[in-house]
Chain A
Amino acid sequence: MGRIISIHSFRGGTGKSNITANLAVWVAQEGHRVGIVDTDIQSPGIHVLFDLDVDKIKHPLNDYLWGKCSIEEAAVDLSPSVLVQKETRTAEPGALYLIPSSNKTGEITRILREGYDVGTLNEGFRDLISGLKLDFLFIDTHPGLNEETLLSIAISDILILILRPDKQDFQGTAVTVEVARKLQVPNLLLVVNKVLPDFDFEDVKHQVESTYQAPVAGLLPLSLEMVRLASGGIFSLMNPGHPISKEIAKIGASIIGGKPDKS
């Protein structure tokens, strides 16, 4: 049975979509069948990392929510363009699908004004997992705690909360953690992003873990290379030996419950 991984942050700008994309690719490269749903309907963006022109997509997620298509019809198969066969490995790469949200202002405004049945979204997730035989479904959420975000938290097998080491994120994460506990999320993982490299990483990890009583799956340093890439691709595919890529592998391993490949 496929597992649902919700990736969330209380505020924007934490690098949520970037981490989601990198994790999903890593898990797929490990030979799993992976889907990503961009439920950030208000400000979709993860497609940019995959160099996908959403305007040319026949059916974005919005069409599914309006009953215009099935959820499977909204899935774009990224496997051929994104996944690479590793020569050193015998296992075939898995599969990677993206269900993007519409980038068109009119469609965004319409769904925000008219709303949609969040129950439909939940059914969509389930149909997607069974229809595409997914091992993992990643949900890229909108920052904050609106209805679809609460739903994605409630149905997730693993909730990954991303925060930066700053006061507002600490506060917002405390709220999210408590809400997630009330929704009985079975696995809660924290990822601290954009940590200044001269921080004492062990100390940051220890403090975050003791504050939220939840494990820190990864600490990602603030990286100039990452900033320079500016959403121009999947960082860990382009920089396999980079400390950030290794940390992504570590987080990925705690998602699939195995050990990271080499490193």
Chain B
Amino acid sequence: MDQNRVVMEVLEQFILLCKEFANGNYDKANELLELTKEEEHPRLIADLAESFGMMIVKIEAREMRLEQIIEDLEKTKGELEIAKKKLALENVGLKNELRKLRIEIDHSQKAQDVADITETDYFKYLEKKAKDLKAPKK
């Protein structure tokens, strides 16, 4: 009977521990470790405690890894936001540049360049002949 009571108490302790773990509180994991001592507890209890302990360790490890991943993702997200803002600014700059595209002709330079060509003898000959040249011979 005594033995049964001990088992019942231990199981109740298990239930409490499970509630703590379910809430993400692993501070009482040490209590679980105490229960794994085979010389103090029935083998089945010790084995159960061992299995629970392993489960908690694995869950904690997984949670840590996930937290790390979330942290990395948050960091990347922040960097993306910054890059996005920078791009938006650059685009505004580029659009302004496009709007600024104007065709500018230096008319005095043009007049000079045209004169350099049209004042040659060859050009004058072409100009005079332009109409005849267009029509096929014969």
Residues of A within 8 A of B (CB): 1, 122-123, 126, 129-130, 145, 147, 150-151, 154-155, 157, 165, 167, 170-171, 174-175, 178-179, 182-184, 198-200, 204, 207-208, 211
Contacts and interface: CB of A to CB of B under 8 A. Distances in A.
Given A126-B137, A178-B110, A179-B118, A154 B105 contact: no
Given A154-B126, A178-B110, 13 more contacts: A123-B137, A129-B136, A145-B117, A151-B133, A154-B127, A154-B130, A154-B134, A165-B101, A174-B105, A175-B114, A175-B117, A179-B118, A182-B127
A150 to B, nearest CB: 6
Given A170-B104, A171-B105, A200-B98, A157 B117 contact: no
A183 B98 contact: no
Interface in B80-123: 94, 98, 101-106, 109-110, 113-114, 117-118, 122-123
B5 interface: no
B104 A167 contact: yes
Given A155-B133, A179-B117, A184-B131, A199 B98 contact: yes
Contact of A171 (B98, B102, B110, B127): B110
Which range contains the number of B residues in contact with the other chain? 20 to 34
Interface string B35-64: 000000000000000000000000000000
A165 B123 CA distance: 28
A151 B109 contact: no
In the A-B complex, the 9 residue pairs with the smallest Cβ-Cβ separation, listed nearest first, are A175-B113, A211-B103, A154-B126, A155-B133, A174-B105, A170-B103, A178-B114, A174-B110, A154-B130
B104 to A, nearest CB: 7
Given A178-B110, A184-B130, A150 B122 contact: yes
A40 to B, nearest CB: 19
Contacts of A183: 126-127, 130
Contacts of A179: 114, 117-118, 123
B129 interface: yes
Nearest to A147: B122
The prevalent SS among residues of B at the interface is helix
A183 B128 CA distance: 9
Contacts of B122: 147, 150
B126 to A, nearest CB: 5
A150 B131 CA distance: 14
A175 B103 contact: no
B71 to A, nearest CB: 37
Contacts of A199: 98, 101
